[in-house]
Amino acid sequence: MAEIKYGKSSAPRTARGRRRLKRKHLQDAFAESSKIISNPLPSRVQIQLARKAFIPPNISSARPLKDIANKAAISINEYRLNLERASLVYEAAFNRVEKEAPYKDAMSMVVNHAHQRSPKKKWS
């Protein structure tokens, strides 16, 4: 028994029918692939929250507070610099000045339109 595609029992005869059939196969394949639910990867924040804090076994193996304070100060400065960079990028992106359109008056439009038409119909 012949397989019926789009209400027809024979293969498509035109390019349009072949494209339609190809789209149908792609849609079916996408529907099949979207049914498979994959586990999403955790975000960087979720990974950091899941990570347990390091607690040194004794005080001698702990990092000095000076190092921890320096690292915090450096990270704050980097964060501030990143904010400044982002503000400059967004300011340049959102404060663009549009170019002015060339001035067109009625006479120039009539003349330009007349040049595009045939010489016999010069000013009509």
- Note the pLDDT tens digit of each residue in 7-24: 556 778 889 988 998 999
**Annotated domain spans of the chain:** 1-34, 63-94
Tell me the C-alpha distance between 2 and 8, whole Å: 10
- According to the model, what pLDDT value does residue 82 have? 92
* Per-residue b or e along 21-41, where b marks 16 or more CB atoms closer than 10 Å to that residue's CB: eeeeeeeeeeeeeeeeeeeee
Helix %, strand %, coil % for the chain, to 5? 60, 0, 40
- According to the model, what pLDDT value does residue 83 have? 92
For 65-123, how does the pLDDT look when each residue is reduced to its tens digit (9 = 90+)?
898 899 999 999 999 999 999 888 888 778 777 777 766 666 666 655 555 556 665 55
